[in-house]
A and B are shown apart, each in its own frame.
Chain A
Amino acid sequence: MWRRHCTAVLAALLLAFPGHSAWAAERADETEVKAAVIYNLLLFVHWPARTPPAGSFRFCVLEDGALTNALRHHERKAVRGQALEIRLVGSAPEELDTCVAVMVEAGNPGVLARLGVLTRDRALLVIAEGSDAVDRGAMIGLYTHSGRVTFDIDRGAMKRSGLEPSSRILQLARTLTE
C-alpha cells in the first residue's frame, strides 16, 4: 500500500518545501490590495455636479463577498467630501438609484451586461473584477497581472455616463479603451 502512495506523498512533500526566494518582496493579500485600489480610484474620478444625491458617498455592492468585506475597511473614509458608505443591494434597477458607484465581484457573469445597459443615462461608476471585465461592460476592470493588481479603464463608457477619470489613473491603467 505504501508503495502505491509513495509517489503521491513525494509530490506533496515537494510542494511543501518550496525553493529559493531571490528577494523578499513586500506582499499583501490580493483582496485587501484590490479594495485599497478601488478606494483610491474613487478619489480620481470626477462625477457631474449633481451627484451624489445622498448624504454619503454611496458605493453599492451586489454580493457580500471577500472584496466587499475588504472594502468595509475603508468605510467612513472621505470621498469627495463625503463619507464612504458600502451598501449591499439586489440587482433590481431602482435599488441602484441612490448609488454613485457599483462593484461586481468575480464570478458574477451576466450582471455586467445588464449594468452596462443600465448606466448609459446616469453617472454610475461600474467597477468589476476580472481581466475581461471591461469587455463585459465594466468601466473599470480590476485583476492581477504578473502578481500585481492592475486595472483597465473604458474611458468611452465613463464619458457616456458623464464621468471623467483624471489623467493620473489614465496613466496607471494597463489598458485604456476610448
Chain B
Amino acid sequence: MLATSVLAPIATGILTTIDLDDSQAKVAALLGFIGVAVGVGVQQPFTATMTVMSPKDVSVALGVLIFGAGIGSSLFVAVSATLFQSRLAYEVSKYAPGSNMTALRHAGLSDIRKTVGSDHLKDVLFGYNEAVIQTLYLPLGLALLTIVGSAFTEIKSVKKKRE
C-alpha cells in the first residue's frame, strides 16, 4: 500500500503532461506505469482486513471495502464529468474564441473533427487537451490521498505463526 502511495502520484503526475503530439508509446507506457503503481497495492487492503478481522466479521468488513471501491469509481467519475464539462467550456473558448460550445458538446467524440472544420481545429483540440489534463489532476489528488489509507492501516504480519 505504501508503494502505491509513493508510485501512483508520480505516475499520475507524469500523465498530466500529455499533449497533442506525444507518441503513442509514451502514453501507453505511462498507462502501464499507472497500472503497476496501483496494482502493487490494490489487493493489500483486502489482505490487511482479512488478517486483522475475526472470521465472523470478515465478510461484513470486506463488504465495507467493496462499498468503498464502488463509491470510489462512481463518485469520482461523476465529479470528473462535472469538472471536465466546465473546463472544456472554459479552455475551448480561451484557445478558440467564438466556437459553438453547444454544437461541440453534442457532436460526440468522433465527430469533433467534422463539426469544427479544419481552420481552427488545432485550437479547439488544444483546448480539449487542456480540459482532459485538468481533469487528470483528479486522479493525481486521489493518488496522493491514498497515503492516508496506507498510513492508518494496522501493520500486522501475515506470517503463519500468528494463527
A and B co-occur in one complex: no
